[in-house]
Amino acid sequence: MALKLYGMREATCTQRVLTTLAELGITDFEFIKINLFEKEQKNPSYLALQPWGKLPLLDDDGYLVYESRAICKYLALKYPEKNKGLMPSLDNLKAYGLFEQR
């Protein structure tokens, strides 16, 4: 399993990524809970991955992506065969421009 998602299910930004994974039909990932209430995001082992201690964080076999919107775009572009309308094609510049401003 290459994908690991660090986050807290109750956090809106983590929910955005989980929704994107579900929409893409990606179920083969490991979810690693980081409890914000317990300040686990300040743990040195997590800060080694995400220096600002923010959630969520996607680890794709060592390639780290943070910020929920960036993670969602990354996933949609990584799995274009599963991207059924989540994000317009980069070939359609006007549609992509509208997508980015919303």
Residue 32 CB partners (closer than 8 Å, separation 6+): 4, 5, 6, 7
Q: Long-range contacts for 91-100 (Cβ within 8 Å, ≥24 apart)?
A: none
pTM recorded for the entire structure: 0.88
> Who has greater pLDDT, 63 or 100?
63
Per CATH, the number for 3-101 is 3.40.30.10
**Each residue's pLDDT tens digit, 50-98:** 999 999 999 999 999 999 999 999 999 899 888 887 888 778 888 888 8
Please name the residue that has the structure tokens 């094609």: 89
Residue-range domain boundaries for the chain: 3-101
